[in-house]
Structure 1
Amino acid sequence: MHTNDPLRPVVFAYTAVRDTLAAVATGDSRREPDDTVLAVSGAPVAGLNGVISPDLEPDPGVVEALADSASLRGLPWSIQVRGVPGPRISAVAARHGLTHVSAQPLMVRRCDAGTPSQPATGPLRVRAVRADELGLYAKIMAEGFGVPPEMFEIFADPALAEREGFTFYLAEVDGVPVGTGMAAVSGDLLGVYNISVLPDHRRQGHGLAITTEIVRAGHAAGATTAYLYSSAMGVPVYTSAGFHTAEILTWFTAPA
């Protein structure tokens, strides 16, 4: 059915990660027969609540039905669709007050790129964290993204560490945390998330080192294709790690 859409499994894996985060945080997630997802984490972050379609041509009726969920009321939320949305999806978003439109590049690192070499990182070390360290992980990630700690409290839940395929990483210099990353492995796909570096430690190659270590660990776990959604600022870093931009994800959110 989707043989002419080779990126659909990648976007499906992304929706599954959002689905899992919501299931752990609130138990409020729902997947429709066409795989459109309603995922409500309860976090005060638009990207962590809302409706995501993995299809190139999402069904406006399904998107609208999920967008009408009472679970979204009072929360920042989003509608996320692939590529340039058609007028019917844009109209659904507008009816729900989501009139700000932005785009994120989907970057993919294919299996033929091989296992990346580890860049020289000096005293930096990247390690997987234990469940009881997720509170520290969430704190460092919030500092790295420059947001209040409550925005990422959901990542402090030890239950996340028990989810199959999820691994959380801290980057440390002489034992002091300076950055974060997260891996979500599903079959041969590796999702790279939450790459952050504290302001005083940027421009030293730490973001690249964290990303590379996650990709190397993913390869060891059998995931040969890696993907991530990047900010515009992050594209050069991920390009140097062997990723290339494959398409965009369009976000509809409420105006600031």
Structure 2
Amino acid sequence: MVREAAEAFQAATEQLTDILPNGLHERGPNGALLAVTGSMIPVLNGIMSVSDVPDAEEIRLLCEKAEPHVQQLPWSIRLRGEAGEEITTLAARRGLSTRLQQPFMLLSLADGPEVGRDQRQFGPESVTVRPLGDDEHETFAAVLGTAFGAPPVIISSLYTPHVLGQAFVKAYIAEADGIPAAAGLAIVTERHVGLANIGTLPDHRRRGLGRAVVEAILRDARAAGAHTAYLHSSDEALPLFEQAGFRTEESWAAFTA
């Protein structure tokens, strides 16, 4: 189940890159993926291996192929398997000397708890969660940019109307008394759904809005036939996803500048 979810995540990254005007993707001989979106987010440019044992030679080969395309971009090497000394040294020589550990979390939608409704009452606030249309990309970018302390253009340059209009991509917004206050993204590949960019405006945190977005994504994914949900979490967001039923199955290594 974990390996299938990891492969679904890799396939989703490849599929997203494929629809971008300047996107680049290429597979290594053992299945590792080089994917460059052009985003200013490091994990959206670089190399991803979902093998139990990463192949250092394959990673080196893909680094060489990546270098002409990431000279002006932040990028990364992400590994599901254990990063050995050879790959660690290889990453450092390319300026990727910061190593992060990222919890990879899964939830079985077949066994998971029932998720909530689109509209609920949170104390004095009435919260509605709805999918966004592709013409609302600026709203999506504004909420996530503020939630993560980043310029909205970083979000909108990747999640354009073209991207949000794809059948396998669905953006969500949570509105508190009609005001956009939280957002998130779902990417569906076959029978897996990946959750990403779950963020809440600072003034609306600890009120359940992020949880409401997660529940809406899970409910819609289950209705569409998905059997597994997956995500990478930050340490700060772990309690949110654990409350929604996700469990950490393994930890991935990410090398960045």
Which structure 2 residues correspond to residues 14-33 of structure 1 after superposition, within 5 A?
A: 14-25=9-20, 26-33=22-29
Query: SS of the residue aligned with 2:164?
Result: helix
Query: Which residue does 1:39 correspond to in 2?
Result: 35
Within the candidate set 235, 242, 245, 2:245 is matched to 242
Please give the per-residue CA displacement for 1:106-125, whole angstroms capped at 9, x wherever unaligned.
01001443352317543111
Q: Of 129, 133, 139, which aligns to 1:130?
A: 133
Give the partner amino acid of 1:127. R
1:139 alignment partner in structure 2: 142
Q: Aligned AA for 1:150?
A: V
- Which residue of 2 is the match for residue 116 of structure 1? 114
Deviation at 1:196, TM superposition (A): 0.5
What is the count of residue pairs matched by the alignment?
249
| Separation in 1, partners of 2:15, 2:93 | 28
Contact conserved, 1:190 with 1:223, CA < 8 A, in 2? yes
Structure 2 Cα separation of the partners of residues 18 and 117 of structure 1? 26
Q: Deviations over 1:194-215 (max 9, x none)?
A: 1000000001011111111110
2:185 partner letter: M
Q: Which of 149, 152, 174 matches 1:149?
A: 152
Cα deviation digits, residues 132-170 of structure 1 (max 9, x gap): 111221221111111122322334411112333211111
* Distance across 2 between alignment mates of 1:115 and 1:220: 14
Determine if contact 2:112/2:245 at 8 Å carries over to the other structure: no
% identical aligned pairs: 35
1:54 aligns with 2:50: yes
Whether the aligned pair in 2 keeps the contact of 1:115 and 1:219 (CA below 8 Å) is: no
Aligned pair partner of 1:219 in 195, 212, 222: 222
Mapped pair 1:11 → 2:6: yes
Give the Cα separation in 2 of the matches to 1:117 and 1:40.
34
TM superposition score normalised by structure 2: 0.91
Preserved CA contact (<8 Å) 1:212 1:241: yes
Distance 1:47 1:34 in 2: 20
Supply the distance in 1 between the matched residues of 2:82 and 2:140 (Cα, whole angstroms).
35
Q: Which moved more, 1:120-129 or 1:180-189?
A: 120-129
Q: 2:79 aligns with which of 78, 81, 86?
A: 81
Equivalent position SS for 1:56? coil
Contact 2:132-2:172 within 8 A present in 1 as well: yes
- Aligned-partner Cα distance in 2 for 1:243–1:41: 28
Structure 1: segments with no counterpart, 5+ residues: 1-5
Residues 236, 20 of structure 1: CA spacing in aligned structure 2 closer, same or farther, 3 A cutoff? Answer: same
Runs of 4+ more than 3 Å apart: 119-122
- Structure 2: tracts of 5 or more residues without a match: none
* C-alpha distance in structure 2 between counterparts of 1:235 and 1:241, whole Å: 10
